[in-house]
């Protein structure tokens, strides 16, 4: 499968050029699923390439290959994080049962590492974008659970019985007016998705800001931290043009807002000390 190289145009904004982005995936090795891995690897490479074209200093990191300690160390200086798609989360991390329809392999090392990463990001107010599995990781990290299998007979969320490179299915998403995602993408973006699970019970501090026509949760945002999740794949080659760029720009805006807030707090502290 052909990888997508980063475009050569780069922005002049020095603020973006100083930002470090951790692009976190499940694993760089799936010898048991070559076709699936090639498709996922292509999408993950597109995120890094698109981020670098926008000026980010982006690094790809595989949670299941690194483990919790190394992933946290490698992302310690990240200004923002994107948690990408992949395998189902193990039911044990949200109190679910095994044996559900469509269950495949799990990667418990990646699960624990990504959950720890999101919890630290919330505590530090590090901006995070979760995509598909990453969106679900955000919810589970904050105490939520998942709908283990969608009865998607109409093929709204994925193309039924299709080969891996044709599973993606476009559908409309209704976003809450005034949400960060609506400001970035508009009120009714098209989501390119291929999932059989979804956010169930909502995690602490999260609110639903997007749903599909069948009511499935498609987007969440944290009420105070710069954390957002989308159930679809803006990084897929069939996604609407500019969607991934818009989400990365929103992530950069959150980083900049945090820097400005930190600078303002520092000035206030210095003024208080002088007084």
Catalytic site residues?
Answer: 132, 233, 235
For residue 58, the cross-strand partners are 21
Residue 248: name the closest of 136, 86, 131 by CA: 131
Q: DSSP 3-state assignment of 222?
A: strand
Cβ–Cβ < 8 Å for 155, 109: no
For residue 147, the cross-strand partners are 198
What does 143-205 look like in DSSP terms, one character per residue? T--EES----TT-SSS-TT--GGG--EEEE-EEPTTSHHHHHH-SSPEEEE--S-EE-SPPTT
Pairing of strands 174-175, 198-199: unpaired
For residue 210, the cross-strand partners are 175, 219
Phi, psi for residue 225 in degrees, rounded to 5: -90, 155
Cβ–Cβ < 8 Å for 130, 136: yes
Provide, for the chain, the percentages of residues in helix, strand and coil under a 3-state DSSP scheme, each rounded to the nearest 5: 40, 20, 45
Query: Which residues, at least 6 apart from 6, have a Cβ–Cβ distance to it below 8 Å?
Result: 48, 49, 50, 52, 53
Structural element, H or E, at residue 39: helix 34-53
């Amino acid at each position: 499968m052909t990888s997508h190289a980063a475009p050569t145009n780069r922005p002049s904004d020095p603020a973006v050029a100083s930002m470090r982005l951790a692009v976190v995936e499940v694993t760089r090795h799936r010898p048991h699923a070559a076709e699936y891995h090639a498709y996922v690897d292509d999408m993950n490479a597109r995120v890094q390439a698109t981020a670098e074209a926008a000026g980010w200093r982006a690094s790809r990191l595989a949670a299941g290959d690194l483990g919790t300690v190394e992933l946290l160390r490698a992302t310690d200086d990240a200004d923002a994080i994107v948690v990408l798609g992949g395998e189902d989360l193990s039911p044990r991390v949200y109190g679910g049962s095994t044996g559900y329809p469509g269950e495949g392999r799990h990667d418990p090392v990646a699960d624990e590492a990504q959950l720890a990463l999101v919890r630290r990001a919330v505590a530090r107010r590090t901006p995070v974008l979760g995509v598909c599995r990453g969106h679900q990781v955000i919810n589970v990290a904050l105490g939520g659970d998942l709908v283990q299998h969608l009865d998607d007979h109409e093929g709204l969320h994925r193309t039924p019985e299709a080969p891996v490179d044709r599973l993606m299915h476009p559908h409309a998403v209704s976003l809450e007016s005034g949400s960060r995602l609506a400001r970035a993408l508009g009120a009714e973006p098209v989501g390119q998705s291929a999932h059989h699970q979804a956010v169930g019970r909502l995690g602490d501090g999260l609110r639903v800001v997007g749903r599909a026509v069948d009511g499935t949760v498609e987007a969440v945002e944290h009420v105070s931290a710069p954390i957002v999740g989308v159930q679809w794949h803006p990084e897929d080659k069939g996604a609407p043009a500019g969607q991934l760029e818009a989400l990365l720009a929103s992530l950069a805006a959150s980083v900049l807002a945090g820097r400005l807030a930190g600078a303002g707090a520092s000035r206030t502290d210095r003024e208080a000390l002088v007084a």
